[in-house]
Structure 1
Amino acid sequence: MTDSLRITAAEFDPQLLTLPWSTRLEDWPSRAIVKLPKGISRHIVRFSELSGHVVAVKETTAAMAQREYEMLGALARLDVPCVRRVAVVAGRAADDGAPLPAALVTAHLSFSMPYRALFTHALRPDTATRLVDALALLLVRLHNVGFYWGDVSLSNTLFRRDAGAFAAYLVDAETGELHEAGLTDGQRAHDLDLARTNIAGEILDLAASGRVEGVDPVAVADGIVSAYHALWSALHDQQTVSASEAWRITERVRDLNALGFDIDEMAIETVEGGTRVSIQPKVVDAGHHQRRLIRLTGLDVEENQARRLLNDLDEFRVRARRSEEEEELAAHEWLTQAFEPVVRAIPFELRSKLEPAEVYHQVLEHRWFLQEARGASVPVAEVLTSYIRDVLRHRRDEATIMGPLTETLTAPLETLSPEPDWRDLV
Structure 2
Amino acid sequence: MEQLKITSATPNSALLDLPWRRPLIEWPAEVLAALPRGISRHVVRFVRLDGRVLAVKEISEDVAFREYGMLRQLRKLEIPAVRPIGVVTGRTAEDGTPLEAALVTEHLAFSLPYRSVFSQWLRDETANRLIDALVVLIVRLHLAGFFWGDVSLSNTLFRRDAELFAAYLVDAETGALHRELTRGQREHDLEIARVNIIGELMDLAAGELLDSEIDEVAFGNSLVDRYHELWEALTGVEAFASDERWRVAARIERLNALGFDVGELDITTDIDGTTVRIQPQVVDAGHHSRRLAKLTGLDVQDNQARRLLNDLDSYQAATDRQEDDPQLVAHDWLQNVFQPTVRAVPRELRRKLEPAQLYHEVLEHRWYISEQAGHDVPMPEAVQSYVTNVLRYRPDEKAILGMAPEEEPQGPEADYFHYAASEPGDVD
TM-score, normalised to structure 2, is: 0.92
- Which deviates more, 209-218 or 101-110? 209-218
User: Aligned pair 1:18/2:41, yes or no?
Assistant: no
User: Aligned pair 1:203/2:201, yes or no?
Assistant: yes
Structure 2 distance, partners of 1:363, 1:35, is 28
Counterpart in the other structure of 1:114: 113
Counterpart in the other structure of 2:425: none
Counterpart in the other structure of 1:130: 129
Amino acid in the other structure paired with 1:369: Y
- Deviation of 1:422 after TM superposition, in Å, equals 8.0
- Which deviates more, 65-74 or 122-131? 122-131
Counterpart in the other structure of 2:338: 339
Could you say if the C-alpha distance between residues 371 and 317 of structure 1 is closer, same or farther in structure 2, counting changes exceeding 3 Å? same
Structure 1 distance, partners of 2:106, 2:321, is 42
- Deviation of 1:417 after TM superposition, in Å, equals 6.8
Structure 1 distance, partners of 2:109, 2:81, is 12
- Deviation of 1:355 after TM superposition, in Å, equals 0.6
Give the aligned CA root-mean-square deviation in angstroms. Answer: 1.9
CA contact 1:141–1:286 (8 Å) conserved in 2? yes
CA contact 1:122–1:210 (8 Å) conserved in 2? no
Structure 1 runs not aligned, ≥5 long: 403-409, 411-415
Counterpart in the other structure of 1:330: 329
Give matches, 1:1-40, under 5 Å. Answer: 4-40=3-39
> SS of the residue aligned with 1:244?
coil
Structure 2 distance, partners of 1:73, 1:250, is 35
Counterpart in the other structure of 1:175: 174
Could you say if the C-alpha distance between residues 122 and 278 of structure 1 is closer, same or farther in structure 2, counting changes exceeding 3 Å? closer
Could you say if the C-alpha distance between residues 194 and 333 of structure 1 is closer, same or farther in structure 2, counting changes exceeding 3 Å? same
- Deviation of 1:419 after TM superposition, in Å, equals 5.6
Give 4+ residue runs of structure 1 displaced > 6 Å after superposition.
Answer: none
- Deviation of 1:244 after TM superposition, in Å, equals 1.8
- Which deviates more, 188-197 or 41-50? 41-50
Q: For each residue in 1:145-193, what CA deviation from the matched residue of structure 2 results, as whole angstroms up to 9, or x when unmatched?
A: 00000000000100000010000000100100000x2100000000000
Q: For each residue in 1:229-277, what CA deviation from the matched residue of structure 2 results, as whole angstroms up to 9, or x when unmatched?
A: 1110000001011122111111100000011111111121222511221
CA contact 2:393–2:412 (8 Å) conserved in 1? no
> How many percent of aligned residue pairs carry the same amino acid?
55
Structure 1 distance, partners of 2:39, 2:171, is 13
Amino acid in the other structure paired with 2:295: L
Give matches, 1:40-59, under 5 Å. Answer: 40-59=39-58
- Deviation of 1:392 after TM superposition, in Å, equals 0.7
Structure 1 distance, partners of 2:38, 2:378, is 44
User: Aligned pair 1:364/2:356, yes or no?
Assistant: no
Structure 1 distance, partners of 2:378, 2:325, is 27
Counterpart in the other structure of 1:193: 191
Counterpart in the other structure of 1:406: none
> SS of the residue aligned with 1:159?
strand
Could you say if the C-alpha distance between residues 320 and 362 of structure 1 is closer, same or farther in structure 2, counting changes exceeding 3 Å? same
- Deviation of 1:201 after TM superposition, in Å, equals 0.5
TM-score, normalised to structure 1, is: 0.92
Structure 2 runs not aligned, ≥5 long: 417-428
Structure 1 distance, partners of 2:236, 2:414, is 40
Give matches, 1:129-168, under 5 Å. Answer: 129-168=128-167
CA contact 2:109–2:398 (8 Å) conserved in 1? yes
User: Aligned pair 1:309/2:299, yes or no?
Assistant: no
Counterpart in the other structure of 2:421: none
Structure 1 distance, partners of 2:373, 2:350, is 29
Amino acid in the other structure paired with 1:374: A
Amino acid in the other structure paired with 1:90: T
User: Aligned pair 1:355/2:347, yes or no?
Assistant: no
Structure 2 distance, partners of 1:156, 1:113, is 11
Give matches, 1:167-316, under 5 Å. Answer: 167-179=166-178, 181-213=179-211, 214-271=213-270, 273-316=272-315
- Deviation of 1:320 after TM superposition, in Å, equals 2.4
CA contact 2:36–2:112 (8 Å) conserved in 1? no
Counterpart in the other structure of 2:83: 84
Counterpart in the other structure of 2:410: 418
Amino acid in the other structure paired with 1:332: H
Structure 2 distance, partners of 1:35, 1:421, is 12
> SS of the residue aligned with 1:266?
strand
> SS of the residue aligned with 1:305?
helix
